[in-house]
Structures are given as structure tokens and as C-alpha cells.
Structure 1
Amino acid sequence: MEGTELVTLVNTKVVPICIFLIMMGMGLSLKPNDFKRVLKYPKAVSVGLLNQLILLPVIGFALANIMPLEPEYAVGIMLLVLCPGGTTSNMFSHLAKGDVALSVTMTAVASLVTVFTIPVVLNLSLQHFMGAGNEFQLPIIKTMISLMTLTIVPIAIGMLVKFYAPKFAESTQIHVSRFGILFLTLLIIFLTYIQQDIVVAAFIAAGPVSLILNISTMALGYYSSRWFGLNAAQTTSVTIEVGLQNSTLSMFMALTLLANYKMSFTPAIYTLVMLFTAGILVRFLRAKVSSELKQKDKKQDSIVDLA
């Protein structure tokens, strides 16, 4: 198979199929009651979604304009901030002893909403950074259908499997999460190989903005959650959900919908940054959650003693 044919195969077949499987894996962890959590815990979900759907794109747009970026790398930033969280954020929430149910709920709701917001805002971003009349324009309805096919449909299939075969869903879910991380790693290696002549320049150009974006959005999630009085577990999930984006979906849009490798480099570099910072953050947030739980236990013991 020639190099061009391999690239076409990966962009048009391998990436979409793998994203479909990863999103179906997320559906394996969802139940209809998860969506009712929006009404049960409105403050926590609202804080998370406000960060995820509004403040995150605003910060990304500001950084893409302020930082000295080439237009393609600036669009890569917007691809990142327009996407919802993914299975990676859910996994890190679990490792950090966060409110995993809240994390999954935020991911699910954001996945439904962004199907409709991504095509519109992304087209505006393309016009802003690439110039009016540029070749990179997405048909809005067709793009919405493509995103539905790769997000809502597989999530729904996963939920059906969860409903009719809960034991199978539970045993399969962890393997799908691992597959998602493995595929993301292989995709970054593939991008590095295909575009090896610009890898170093891309890291120098997009590395700093990726780090600033990641740290600033995590800080936003953490301090806004504390300001609104969310508990430690909820704060942990919001922080991780806002800071860890679905970079696989971002790269799919760059590679398949926009057919531009350069735009995919910012999400790829961001992935390396977010996995590193998330590993550090998990230790900090775990300690916060554990400390709060110990304080609650002490209070309960005191109440029992007084009684």
C-alpha cells in the first residue's frame, strides 16, 4: 500500500471507526438516570457545563488571538475547546476519587450539545483565522450529521447494550477505555511520522499555548467550583472535565472533515501536555477529596458522641 493510500485509509476509515468504538464505550457506562442527574444536582452540572461549553471556548479563542500562532495552529486550538470531554476525563476522575457520575453526565450532555455548536462556531473560527473565502468551510448540516453518527449514535448503542446486557457492558467498558488511550497514542505516532519534517517546529509553536490553555482551564474549573460551593469530589470532576478535552475527536475533524494535518498538531501536542498535567493533578485532587471525607467522618463521630 502506497503512502498516500495509507493516509487516506487512516483518515477516512480507521479514525472514524475507532472514534465510533470509543464513544460506544462511553455509552456502556451510561444509564437514562444519568441524564436525570442534571435535575438532581443542577448546580454542579451547571457549573461544569458553563465552564465546558462557554468559558472554555472563550479562553481558547482569546489565547489563539493573543499567542503568535500560525492560522492552522490557531484553528487547532478552537477544535480542542469546542469538543466535549471524553472517556479519558472520566477515567482520570475515577483515579482522582472524583464524582465519576457527574463527570460522565457532563461528558454525555456536552456531547449532545456540541454536535450542534461545533459546526457553526468552527466555521466562524475558520473565517476569522484563515480569512474569508478560504478553502476550509464545513457544510453545517452535513457536519452535524457526521458528528451525530460518531457521537450520539454510538453512545445510544452503548446505552442499549448497558440496558440489555449490563454484565457484558461492565466487563467491556474498561477495555474500551484502554483502547481509547492506545489508539490516541498510535494516532499521535502516526501524525509524527507522516509530518516528521514539521514536528519540531509544531512543538515550538503550539507547545506553549497548549500548556497555558491546559493549566488555565483546569484552574478555571477548580476555582469556579470552589467559589460555587461544590464539594471536593464534584470540584475534582469539573476540574478534570474542563481541562481534558476529547482530542481524538478534535484530530478527526482536522484530518477527516478539514483534511489538514497541520490543524491536527495542536490537539496532538495538547494530548501529551494534558496527560502529563493530569497525572500530577490526580495526586493533588485525591488528597483534597480524602481530606474532606476524613473531616466529614470526624464530624459524624462527634455527633454520635454527643448523642
Structure 2
Amino acid sequence: MGLPIALAIVMFGLGLSLTVGDFRGVVRAPRAVVVALVLQVLVLPVIAFGLVKAFDLDPLLAVGVMLLAASPGGTTASLFSHLFRGDVALNITLTAVNSVLAAATIPLITNFAIGHFGAEGELGLQFGKVVQVIAIVLVPVVVGMAVRSRFAGFADRADRPVRVFSIVVLASVAVGALLGERENLGEYVRDVGAVTGLFCLLSLTIGYVGARVMRLNEAQAIASSMEIGVHNTTVALTIALSILDSTEVAVPSAVYSILMYLLATAFGFLITRTSAAQAPA
């Protein structure tokens, strides 16, 4: 019970950082938003599916990777984008839109994976569980936005504590998920570490290269890369542990939550240095 409440607080904090104006970014930069969302919502699950098939993962681990692919970008993506001079406004818009879309995309993609890989047990996201996903992902965001619209000062003061709380929750849940499977941990990390690491690198690369191919500017490409590569793994972990009641399904997200910080940092330094080297003197 405590984990869904913790996630609801995290999502409420996300809502405190958003305004209706953030969604207007779709109108201000429609091509950038559409390109990033297509890459994240449509292309990313296809890549995850291909990796899972290539590595021939255990069904529950395969479902976990697909659930990870369906999870939206996190607020941390905006921090990485700011660090590497990306378009932070685009990140905020993408996070806002994707947090709404996730209420539908997570059940669709997860149920597809459960059916395709033949995961055993009552693992599906039936109607009642879909309502739970909406309740812990979408509703707190809307409530947070409503609070911000009325009490902007409180929202600003709460921003830092909620971010700290979010990091603590993520770390606690990731470690808990890994310890919950400690008997098989070495095997899982060996199997899922390669898949999740490669998935993270591909996500970051496709977010950047795809944006540049579609003629978005450098700042927008960096924002797209970080938004697509840095997931809100707390959402995936909570759904795996509390709604699907499967520690094994949570393992890929737990491993990814550690790897993504290292890989996103390295990738950010790589693309900024490459861009600086290519800039005209």
C-alpha cells in the first residue's frame, strides 16, 4: 500500500511543476513535440520488443522490459537537458503530455507483452488495474497542477523537497526490487544488464539522431534524447510491484534506473563535445 502512495506523491510533485501553459508548447513547437512523442510512444516499444526477442529473455523479464519502454520520461530528464543545454521547455511539455498518455499506453503495451510472451498467472492489467494506473499516474498530476494554479508560492517551496523525496523513493524501490530477487540477482543482472544498457543507449541515440534527421535544432535534439532515454522508472517499478505483484517484472526497471544516470551523463558529454568540435571556428 505504501508504494502506490509514494508514487502518487511523486506524481503530485510533478504536477506542482506544471501549468496549463506547458501543454501549449504543443502549439508553439508542434513538430518537435510530435517527433519526440512518436519516437517515445511508438518507436521505443518496437526497439524494446526487438531486444527482448534477440536476447530471448524469460517471459516475466520480457514483460518488465516492455513495461519500462512504456513508462514516460521523468522530471530528471529536464535536469539532464538543462545540464547539456537542451530545450528544457520542450522537456517540460513532453513530460506533461506523456504523463497523460501513459495512463493509456502502459496498459496497452504491458498487456500486449503479457499475452505475447505467455507470462504466467493473473498478471494482466484488467479494467480495475487500469483504473489503478490512472489513479496513481494521472490523477495526482492533475491535482498538483490545480494546486499550483491556486497556490504558486507553495508549489515553488515544495519543488525541492518533492524532488529529494522522488530520488529517495526511486533508490529505495530499485534496491528493494533487486534484493527481492537476490537469489537470482546475479543471473538477472547478467541477462537484463546487457538488454537494459543497450536499450538505454539506443533510446538516447534515437532520441537525438531522430530529432536531427527531422531537422530539429541542437537544443531540441538534446531535449528529445534525454526525454526518451531517461524514464520515470518509479512508475514502472510501482506498477510491477504493487499492481502486477511481480518482483521479477520490476528487475529490468530497477537495473535501468541505475544505468540510465551513468549512460545519460556520458552520452550528454559526448554529444556536446562533438557539437562543439563541429561548430565553425
Q: Which category of TM-score, normalised to the shorter sequence, fits these structures?
A: over 0.9
Q: In structure 2, what is the equivalent of residue 103 of structure 1?
A: 91
Q: Report if the CA contact (8 A) 1:222-1:238 is conserved.
A: yes
In structure 1, the gaps of 5 or more residues are 1-12, 299-307
Per-residue CA distance 1:111-156 (angstroms, 9 max, x = gap): 211211221221121011125xx42343432233112211221111
Change (3 A) 1:77 1:169: same
Structure-1-length-normalised TM-score: 0.86
Structure 1 residues 47-56 or 194-203, which shifts more?
194-203
- CA offsets per residue over residues 43-95 of structure 1, 9 Å max, x none? 10011101110000110111111113111111111010011111222222222
CA RMSD of aligned residues (A): 2.0
Is 1:232–1:288's contact at 8 Å kept on the other side of the alignment? no
1:301 match? none
Given residue 256 of structure 1, which amino acid in structure 2 is its aligned partner? S
Aligned residue in 2 for 1:267: 253
Cα distance in 2 between the residues matched to 1:257 and 1:21: 17
Q: Partner of 1:270: helix, strand, or coil?
A: helix
Separation in 1 of the partners of 2:137 and 2:172?
21
* Cα distance in 2 between the residues matched to 1:190 and 1:26: 23
Q: Distance in 2 between matches of 1:85 and 1:200?
A: 28
1:226 aligns with 2:212: yes
Give the corresponding residue for 2:71: 83
Q: Which residue of 2 aligns with 1:195?
A: 181
Matched, 1:43 2:43: no
Per the alignment, residue 134 of structure 2 pairs with 148
User: Is 1:239 equivalent to 2:229 in the alignment?
Assistant: no
- The aligned runs of 1:142-221 (5 Å cut-off) are 142-221=128-207
Q: Offset at 1:192?
A: 2.9
Residues 68 and 236, structure 2, Cα contact 8 Å, conserved in 1: yes
Q: Using the alignment, how far apart are the partners of 1:97 and 1:21 within structure 2?
A: 29
Whole-Å separation in 1 of the counterparts to 2:125 and 2:231: 24
Tell me if 1:21 matches 2:13: no
Q: Identify which of 8, 13, 31 aligns with 2:19.
A: 31
Q: Is the CA contact (8 Å cut-off) linking 2:66 and 2:110 kept in structure 1?
A: yes
- Which stretch shifts more, 186-195 or 216-225? 186-195
Task: Output the CA distance in 2 between the equivalents of 1:33 and 1:291.
Answer: 36
Q: Work out which of the two has the higher radius of gyration on C-alpha atoms and give 1 or 2.
A: 1
Number of aligned residue pairs = 281
Aligned to 2:82: 94
Residues 205-214 or 107-116, more deviating: 107-116
Distance 2:16 2:277 in 1: 31
Detail structure 1 runs of 4+ shifted over 6 Å in the superposition: 288-292
Secondary structure of 2:182 counterpart = coil
Cα distance between partner residues in 2 of 1:155 and 1:291: 41
